[in-house]
Structure 1
Amino acid sequence: MLIANGTCFRPSVFTLTGIPGLEAVQRWVGIPFFISFVLATIGNGLLVAAIRSERSLHEPMYVFLAVLAATDLGLTLCITPKMLAIFWLQSREIHFDSCLIQMYFTHTFQCMESGILLAMAFDRYVAICEPLRHSAILTRKGLISIILAVTIRASVIIIMCPLLIKLRLKHFRTTVISHSYCEHMAVVKLAAEDVRANKAYGLFVAFSVLGLDVIFIFLSYAFIFQAVFKLPQKEARFKAFNTCTAHIFVFLQFYILTFFTSFIHRFGFSVAPYVHILLSNLYLLVPPLLNPIVYGVKTKQIRDGVIKMLFPKG
């Protein structure tokens, strides 16, 4: 319902534009997105299945990797089907509550991924700096506690984002979201009311989750590198460092994409909208695609587990 100043009461549906400025070629843009979706789904699904079925992979590092793969799988399934429906079927409408649900799960999985990367850094720290205490610290109960803590932290801290929209924002300037999924700030910017509380909470989430996780991961690797360089033998240093390379690559590509996308979103006023939206999409779709490839290439145990699962008699 329209009111005097041109705004409207809370709409029942939003319209997702996909990639503003590239509407004419979105069906072609959808092809690499679909290929990435299929490969990410297969890769992460194989990782979870192989680690679950192979008893030799029931170690902390691989358990955390399985949770990371499951998180990537959830993140991919949250956004890609609707995105492809926009690109190929022109299915742009999304119900208000469905939009908030998609927003909640998308950002929850992002926070979970950050938390799991921190847990994996902690595992490498204990394995290299406190090797004799590794099995005592990262027990089965300890692993479950860490995974639950990561899940609960993400679930609780993100729930306020859709709740603040649902409870505080009653009027919107438009129902058109210039995005291909329901991202928090993309929805908040549509409101015709004071959104300072929503923006402040979004910044709080970014700094309290991603910011703190990055700091603790860097601290973990500072201690790891210090311990590695103290090892007397070159082969021992190489072996210890080699156990961290896959995690370092995954960590760097996740956070570099995160902070670069966030920087463009907040300060890149001269950047074309389609560039920002493409970066936002890649930021969510590239890690789930690359993570299983990186760990599959770098970790022989993972390769052997997948091969054994696919070819049990071979």
Structure 2
Amino acid sequence: MSDSNTTDFTNPSTFILQGIPGLEVAHVWISIPFCTMYAIAILGNFTILIVVKMEQSLRAPMYYFLCMLAITDLVLSTSIMPKMLSIFWFNSREIDFSACLTQMYFIHCFSVMESGILVAMAFDRYVAICHPLRHSTILTNPMVVNIGLAVVLRSGMLILPYPLLTRQWPYCKTNIIPDTHCMHIAVVKLACADTHISSYYSLFVLFCVKGLDMFFVALSYTQILRAIFSLPTKEARLKTFGTCSSHLCSILAFFIPALFSSLTYRFGQNVALHFRVLIGNVNLLVPPTLNPIIYGVRTKQIQDRLLRLFTHKGT
């Protein structure tokens, strides 16, 4: 073990990612489901992008936002999986200090970006159901571009203080991070300084960004449900609600694990460390894995295009 792991230092050149503490002997076995999820995420999200690009009927705001979601999921999962697999397979635990901060930025930035895209998709569903005749005039291509830029800029600017503040803190006694990747709160806990500003800012991002996003999604669906229940027949209500089912599943797959993981990291001192790390990894990998499956199964236009692709290849 290097002396830098046990003696005081202020500017570590590297951190040591421990993996899943207490389950090191099972790393190879644990890698199998994670590697499978990553493969599904890569294949599924690339498929979504290819299908939307090839199918003219999918050139609509809902599918533009879906493409943004697919790109975000690809970057988010790729930010953590290569290093995680190198830990599990090759015991390659070292990560450069700057690389650690870069990984931290990408993980949190694209997580916030995904939250914003889900809000944009909720707005699209609200306009489509509550103001169907005005959908094409409200959600024009320039409007979709502006919403996309706003989502990207918001996440990029809000997460920028994470690595900037983390770089300023002095670090002491250990450079071992008990995780598979560089989460903000895990790195900040290693600092030997008053890091309240980092902690308070991360709570601000959690509650005032993701919390507000959840509020706007709930507000949109309150209006959507009112419009659905005002429809005259049960068939019409079910058909209209079906257009939101994919989005609702994506919301549940993203917000519930994210909120649970964030609260567990901060307030779950009595929760076993290996369980917290596993939940954190599942939180980051489940949405990229499930989103293409959800939209592939629930969206008839995507199914039809995929069927035509495989049919043509078969003939």
Task: Tell me if structure 2 keeps the 8 A contact 1:53–1:309.
Answer: no
Task: Tell me if structure 1 keeps the 8 A contact 2:19–2:178.
Answer: yes
State the Cα distance separating 1:304 from its structure 2 match. 1.6
Where do 1:1-314 residues align within 5 Å? Answer: 7-166=8-167, 168-312=168-312
Task: Tell me if structure 2 keeps the 8 A contact 1:50–1:309.
Answer: no
In structure 1, the residue corresponding to 2:221 is in which secondary structure?
Answer: helix
* Unaligned ranges ≥5, structure 2: none
Task: Tell me if structure 2 keeps the 8 A contact 1:47–1:306.
Answer: no
Worse-superposed segment, 168-177 or 29-38: 168-177
**Deviations 1:273-307 (CA, angstroms, capped at 9, x unpaired):** 00000000000001111111111111111112233
Task: Tell me if structure 1 keeps the 8 A contact 2:105–2:159.
Answer: yes
**Alpha-carbon distance in structure 2 between the residues aligned to 1:101 and 1:188:** 14
In structure 2, the residue corresponding to 1:9 is in which secondary structure?
Answer: coil
State the Cα distance separating 1:2 from its structure 2 match. 8.6
**Alpha-carbon distance in structure 2 between the residues aligned to 1:100 and 1:304:** 43
CA RMSD of aligned residues (A): 1.6
**Deviations 1:89-121 (CA, angstroms, capped at 9, x unpaired):** 111000000000000011111011000000000
In structure 2, the residue corresponding to 1:94 is in which secondary structure?
Answer: strand
Worse-superposed segment, 168-177 or 24-33: 168-177
Query: What is the one-letter code of the residue matched to 1:48?
Result: L
**Alpha-carbon distance in structure 2 between the residues aligned to 1:100 and 1:301:** 40
In structure 2, the residue corresponding to 1:271 is in which secondary structure?
Answer: coil
State the Cα distance separating 1:243 from its structure 2 match. 0.3
**Deviations 1:53-88 (CA, angstroms, capped at 9, x unpaired):** 211111111111111011101111110010000000
Q: Number of paired residues?
A: 312
Task: Tell me if structure 1 keeps the 8 A contact 2:7–2:172.
Answer: no
* Unaligned ranges ≥5, structure 1: none
**Deviations 1:102-152 (CA, angstroms, capped at 9, x unpaired):** 000111110110000000000000000011110001001011111111011
State the Cα distance separating 1:7 from its structure 2 match. 2.8
**TM-score, structure 2 as length reference:** 0.96
In structure 1, the residue corresponding to 2:199 is in which secondary structure?
Answer: helix
In structure 2, the residue corresponding to 1:170 is in which secondary structure?
Answer: coil
**Alpha-carbon distance in structure 2 between the residues aligned to 1:172 and 1:305:** 56
In structure 1, the residue corresponding to 2:16 is in which secondary structure?
Answer: strand
**Alpha-carbon distance in structure 1 between the residues aligned to 2:311 and 2:143:** 33
Task: Tell me if structure 2 keeps the 8 A contact 1:125–1:220.
Answer: yes
Query: What is the one-letter code of the residue matched to 1:135?
Result: S
Query: What is the one-letter code of the residue matched to 1:144?
Result: V
